[in-house]
Structure 1
Amino acid sequence: MNKTHYLIAGASHAGLEAVHRIRLVDETSSITVVTRDAHPPYSPTILPYVVSGQSEPTRVVLRKADWFEQHNINLVSDNELTAIDEANCVATLKSGDQWQYEKLLLATGADPIVPPIPGLSETPFHVLRTMQHAIDLRDHAGQAKRAVVLGAGLIGMHGAENLRHAGLDVTIVEMCDQVLPGYFDPRAASVIERAFNDNGILMVTGSRVVEVKPDGEGCQVMLENGDSLRADLLLVATGVKPQLDYLKGTSVQVDQGILVDRRMRTDAPHIWAAGDVAQAADFYGEGQVMMGILPDAVTQGAVAAMDMAEDDALKPYVGGVPINTYTFFGQQAISVGQSMNDDQLEEQTRVDEENNGYLKILLKDNRLQGISSINQEMDAGIMWQLILRKIDLTPVKDAFIARPLETGRALMSSSWR
């Protein structure tokens, strides 16, 4: 049987950050990283650009093979975790290989949700979650003319834009009344929708797909209002969820994801979880939430690793604060923290119709709770830190509302000192 001190299941941002943090304090213990992907580690955020041809798969690698060799890390690719023998600390892989571990980090990410639409399972369609998905979608796009994208979240919107850049006629279908629900309020979403319309993408919001019918080389997408859309390429981007089948028979507690404490520990001994698979503390409340964003995956991976390696510098996870930077057709939107007012927050909003500009600031007790902007000079990272550090804006409130970037930079500069 194979043996390793640290077993890291997953090689995206949470897993890679964990490995990095472990090696900072533990240079000698054995580390094994298992990834189901046959490709070298990459960021999922670049996949739409592989679809359009703007990026090549070989040029978007986060860690090359020699990096793992230099840090004495065993990388097991094209394999995945299928079962855990919790009592004996043994993980079984899809290949049948078994690894006995001292400490196990579950950073296995999430899989696309395929909605139960009649006819969909009989129709060829694409999802966009892995490098192979992106390559397959790119190859198909080179032969297609009309694409329909189901879902107007970040994956769907990125995918649609890059299919348009690849030369296809594109229609997006979203059952909510706006694009990017959960990231932007309706007013901000309308600015983004207008940019897509101006660039030749048809937006169909507030409409549900009731059936998909295979049709020769493509399909017909039937909407609940009776309309139908013809497509020779169908991209399903209706969300993701963790794949947790490997936890059967363990005591690891699961809700929407794997429940963890502020050190990323599960309630099973010797097992941690981080990233898209983890359901961790909510910054804004007492519950536990799924975040599914890159910066938070990095933070969780770091916390888990420092706890696993018994690093004295560990600071427990403070809770998830959403942060998204979204570039579309040469324009930029950011959303940090809360995006919707719950009537308990002070709201300050500015609109610049001429330049497609938008700014919304949400405050509570003069502390920033959320900020959304479109085509405004902004630093999402600084806004994120202002929220996480619960900076009191009282002395500079008017200046912050008028000039959030400059005021935020000054605040962070003084607090970092």
Structure 2
Amino acid sequence: MNTTHYLVAGASHAGLEAVHRIRLVDGTSPITLVTRDAHAPYSPTILPYVVSGQSAPERVVLRPADYFLQHNITLISDNELVSIDETGKQVTLKSGDRWQYAKLLLATGADPIIPPIPGLSETPFHVLRTMQHAIDLRDHAGKAKRAVVLGAGLIGMHGAENLRHAGLDVTIVEMCDQVLPGYFDARAAALIEHAFNANGIRMLMGSRVVRVEPLGDGCRITLENGDSLEADLLLVATGVKPQLDYLKGTSVQVDQGILVDRRMRTDAPHIWAAGDVAQAADFYGEEKVMMGILPDAVTQGAVAAMDMTEDHALKPYIGGVPINTYTFFGQQAISVGQSLADASLEELTRVDEENGRYLKILLRENRLQGISSINQEMDAGIMWQLILRKVDLTPVKDAFIARPLETGRALMSSTWR
């Protein structure tokens, strides 16, 4: 039986931040980090650039091997949890090895959702969630001419752009009427869609796939309207969800993800969760939500680690606020906080379709609730902090509406602590 004090399952942003924070407080207790990936830890956000060849796998490592040696962290790669014994405080790994822990953090991330499209399971296709997925997709792209991407979320849009950069003819098929529906309203989405069209990507919005079938070395995709597409390469990017089979038989409560409190504790003793697998407090309300963004994974990993080490500096998690910076074809879109207005919000919008510029500000009682922009000078981190800190913009409201970047910087420089 192997033993460790801290067992962290998952070596992406939440898990890496957790082991870093643990070591800041506890310099001696054994830490074991388990990852199902065979590659050194990396950021999933870089994967599309591996596909296009702009980044090499060996150049995007978040922590080199000597980091784990220097910090006395046991790294177990190409392995994963398959079960948890709460009573014995033990986990079993896919390899069959068993580890006894004092404290366990689940930061196992999410897996691609494979839609139940007839014929898909019999047709070769790609997903993009791991480094190996990116390498396989890159290698296939080098031999392909036509690609179809199912899904116009961030993964699908990034994947499509980088397949285009790799020289392929690309078509995106999306059931919704717009791209990136979770981040931008229809007017902003139309500007992004226009940029993709202008760069040679065919956009089929509001289209549903009813069948996929092998065709030679590629496939045929049939749409609900009867049209069909042929492709040498198929990328499925229709969302992600946590893989939670290892929780079977435990008392860990699950909804869309693992339910946690504001200290990232689950209902089970000595078990925490953070990152894409965790369903945690919403900044805007009382419900618990899945956030799935990098900055929030880091924050949750830090909170979990501080609670696990009983760090007196711990401040409970205040809730998730979405933040996304999206670069496409040399342009930049930013979405922070709420993206859709309701009756309780004051909405101020400026659109310059000719120059592809867009700005939307959402306020409640003169406090920023959300801001979206395309091709505007913007600092997403500052906007994020203005929302998190509930800064009263009343004295500078007109200036903020006119010049959000400069006004936001001035506010934060005087209040940042």
Shorter-chain TM-score bucket reads: over 0.9
Q: Comparing 351-360 with 33-42, which one deviates more in the overlay?
A: 351-360
Give the aligned partner of residue 39 of structure 2. 39
Match for residue 11 of structure 2? 11
- How far the C-alpha of 1:416 sits from its partner, in A, is 1.4
Q: Distance in 2 between matches of 1:16 and 1:403?
A: 37
Structure 2: give runs of 5+ residues left out of the alignment: none
The within-5 A match list for 1:124-163 is 124-163=124-163
2:236 equivalent to 1:236: yes
State the AA in 2 paired with 1:163.
L
Amino acid at match of 1:136: D
Q: Secondary structure at the match of 2:28?
A: coil
**Residue in structure 2 matched with residue 246 of structure 1 by the alignment:** 246
**Pairwise CA distance, 1:262:** 0.1
Q: Which residue in the other structure is 2:338 paired with?
A: 338
Residue deviations 1:132-181 (CA, integer Å, cap 9, x gap): 00000000000000000000000000000000000000000000000001
How many Å apart are 1:354 and its aligned residue? 2.9
Matches within 5 A, 1:25-174: 25-174=25-174
Count the aligned residue pairs.
417
1:378 aligns with 2:378: yes
Query: What is the one-letter code of the residue matched to 1:58?
Result: E
SS of residue paired to 2:249: coil
Q: 2:195 aligns to what?
A: 195
Q: What does the per-residue CA deviation read over 1:50-96, in whole Å, with 9 as the maximum and x for residues that have no partner?
A: 00000000000000110000001000000000000001100100000
How far apart, CA to CA, are the structure 1 residues paired with 2:247 and 2:353? 51
In structure 1, distance between residues paired with 2:309 and 2:410: 35
Tell me the amino acid that sits aligned with residue 240 of structure 2: V
> Which amino acid in 2 is paired with 1:349?
T
Cα distance in 2 between the residues matched to 1:353 and 1:34: 48
**Which residue does the alignment assign to 1:217?**
217
After TM superposition, give the deviation of residue 245 of structure 1 in Å: 0.2
- Equivalent residue letter for 2:385: Q
Q: Distance in 2 between matches of 1:364 and 1:221?
A: 45
Separation in 1, partners of 2:160, 2:8: 33
- Distance in 1 separating the partners of 2:197 and 2:344: 34
Matched, 1:305 2:305: yes
Q: Secondary structure at the match of 2:302?
A: helix
CA deviation string 1:199-221 (max 9, x = no partner) = 00000000100000111111111
Contact preservation (8 Å) 2:382, 2:408: yes
SS of the aligned residue for 1:311 comes to: coil
Q: Please, which runs of 5 or more residues in structure 1 have no aligned partner?
A: none
Q: CA deviation at 1:343?
A: 2.0
Q: CA deviation at 1:379?
A: 0.3
Matches within 5 A, 1:263-274: 263-274=263-274
What displacement does 1:284 show?
Answer: 0.4
Q: Distance in 1 between matches of 2:286 and 2:342?
A: 17
Aligned twin of 2:411:
411
TM-score, with normalisation over the residues of structure 1? Answer: 1.00
Work out the CA distance in 2 between the residues paired with 1:21 and 1:110.
Answer: 23
- Find the residue that maps to 2:101 and give its secondary structure: strand
SS in 2 for 1:180: coil
**Are the aligned partners of 2:264 and 2:273 in contact in 1 as well (CA < 8 Å)?**
yes
Question: How far 1:353 moved relative to its partner?
Answer: 2.4
1:399 aligns with: 399
Large movers: runs of 4+ above 6 Å: none
Indicate conservation of the 8 Å contact 2:191/2:353, yes or no. Answer: no
- For residues 111-149 of structure 1, the C-alpha deviation after alignment (integer angstroms, 9 at most, x for no partner) is 000000000000000000000000000000000000000
Could you list the per-position Cα deviations for residues 314-353 of structure 1 after superposition, in whole angstroms to 9, with x for gaps in the alignment? 0000000000000000000000000001221000001122
Aligned partner of 1:354 in structure 2 is 354
